[in-house]
Amino acid sequence: MKMTPSRVLSGGFALIICLGTFLLSLPIAIKGGNTISLIDALFTATSALCVTGLIVVDTGTHFSVFGQIVLLLLIQAGGVGFMTVATWFAIALKKQVSLSDRLILTETLNQNTMEGIVRLIRKVLIYSLTIESIAAVLYLSRWSQEMPFGKAVYFSIFHSVSIFNNAGFELMGGYTNLTPYIDDFFINIVSMALVLLGGIGFIVISDIMDYPKTRRLSIHSKVVLYTTVILTGISAVCIFIFEYANMNTLGGYGWTTKILASLFQSITLRSAGVNTVDIANLHEATQFLMIIMMFIGAAPGSTGGGIKLTTFAVLVGALISMVRGKEDVVMFRHRLPQKDIYKAVTLTVIAVFIVVTFTMILSALQGQDFLMILFETASAFGTVGLSMGLTQHLTFTGKIIIILLMFIGRIGLLTLAFSILPKQKKELYRYPEGKITIG
C-alpha cells in the first residue's frame, strides 16, 4: 500500500496514541493507591493527542507528575500536529525538510499548497511558545496568591498549554474543571483569549500578525473571524437567556457574572472543553445549542475539531445564494469555486451520518438519556471535551466508540477517507446530464 500523506498522518497519530497508552499504563504514571486499565489508558491517551479532554479518570488526582507530563506532551503534539513538532526539531538541527514531509505538513495544517509551508511551521513554533508563555505568566500571577509557588508554576504551564491547544485537561481535581472560577474575571479573560487564539488557527494568527505590513487579510481569515464573532455572540446571548433564572447554573449570580459565564461557555464551544458551570445542570435548550456549536467546531489549521467554521460559512453562503436565485456563492467580493461548495456539503453529510450512527449505537449500549448520549457524541467528534457526566459511566464498548470518534474528529474526515480509500483515477468521459425533481 502506497504511503500517502493522509496515511502517514493517520498512522502517525495511531502510533503515538499506542506509545501514550503504554506510558500512561506504567506504575510511575499513576499516583500511589490508584490503578488504571488498558482501555482507560488508551482512552486518556487518545483524548490527549486528539486534544479533546474527555476523561474517564480524574487527571489531577489519578495521575502522577510523570503521567501528567506525558499528557502535556501528547496535548502539545496533538494540538499543532506531530509532523509539525518533528519539523521543529529538523529546523533546530538545520536539516532539510523533504518534499514528502512538506506534503504531510500541508495535510496537517489544512493547506492547499506547499508554498511557504516551512515558513508557516516556524511561525507556528513562535506563536505557540509565545502565547503559551505569556498565558503561563498571567496564570502564575493569579495562582501564586492561592497555592505554593512551585505548584503555581506547574499549574500555570499545564493549563496554558492545555487550554491554548483546546484540550480541556485540567488539574483542579474532582472533575470540577474551572467551575470554582466562574466569577474570577482574570482567569476567565486569560482562558477565553487562549481558547480563541487556539480555535481561529495559525493561518489566521499569521495573517493578523502580518496585517500591519500587508494591510490586508485573506478571505479565509475574514471568514473565520466573522463567523467566530457571529457564532460566539449568538450562542452567548442564547445561553444568557436560557440560563438566566436557572438556580443550578447562573440564577444565583449577578449580571456581571452571568454575562461573563455565558460568554465563557460560548467561547469554549469552539473546541476547548473547559467550563465554569456544571454542564449537566444546564437546561436542555442550552445543551442542544451546545451540541450544534460543538458540531460546527473551530477553524481549519487550528487545534480544534468539528466540521470547521469555514465549512459552516460556505453552507450558509450557498443557502443564501440559492434563496436569492444566484448561481455563485460570493464572500467578501470573491466567488467561491464550485468544488469548495461540494466539499463543504460532502463533509457535512458525512459528519451528520457519523454522529447519528454512533449516537444510535451508543444509545443501544448505554441505556442513558438520549440527549446526554448525543451531547457526548458531538463533544467527541468535535474534540471539545465537554460532558454531561456520561464519560465516567461508559461501558468498554462505549469507550471504544468514543475513542474512534475522537480520532476521526481530530485527523479530519477527508484525511481519514483518503487514508482508507484507494486513489481514484480521473474519468476520461462524462455521462449525459439528467434531471430529477428536487424539493
pLDDT for res 273: 83
Residue 185, Cβ density class (10 Å: 0-12 exposed, 13-18 middle, ≥19 buried): exposed
**108 or 182, higher pLDDT:** 182
Location of C-alpha cell 514528502: 100
User: pLDDT at residue 83 above 60?
Assistant: no
Collect all residues with Cβ–Cβ distance below 8 Å to 434 and sequence separation of at least 6: none
Residue 310, Cβ density class (10 Å: 0-12 exposed, 13-18 middle, ≥19 buried): buried
3-state secondary structure of 334: strand
**372 or 325, higher pLDDT:** 372
Assigned C-alpha cell, 213? 505590513
> Would you say 383 and 274 are in contact if contact means Cβ atoms under 8 Å apart?
no
DSSP state of 251: T
DSSP state of 281: G
Location of C-alpha cell 532539510: 96
414 pLDDT tier (thresholds 50, 70, 90): low
Question: How many residues in the chain?
Answer: 439
Location of C-alpha cell 468514543: 402
pLDDT for res 126: 84
Mean pLDDT on 327-347: 89
Buried b (16+ CB within 10 A) or exposed e, 18-31: eebbebbbeeebbe
What separation in angstroms does the CA of 399 have from each of 14, 40, 42, 105, 370?
16, 8, 9, 30, 17
What is d(CA 37, CA 134) in angstroms, rounded to the nearest whole number? Answer: 37
pTM for the complete prediction? 0.89
Residue type, 238: C
What is d(CA 95, CA 278) in angstroms, rounded to the nearest whole number? Answer: 48
Mean pLDDT on 217-238: 94
Beta bridge partners of residue 63, listed in sequence order: 30
* Angle, helices 396-411/5-25, rounded to nearest 10 degrees: 140
Give the count of beta carbons closer than 10 Å to the beta carbon of residue 110: 18
245 pLDDT tier (thresholds 50, 70, 90): very high
From first CA to last CA, the distance across the chain in angstroms is 43
95 pLDDT tier (thresholds 50, 70, 90): low
> Would you say 380 and 361 are in contact if contact means Cβ atoms under 8 Å apart?
no
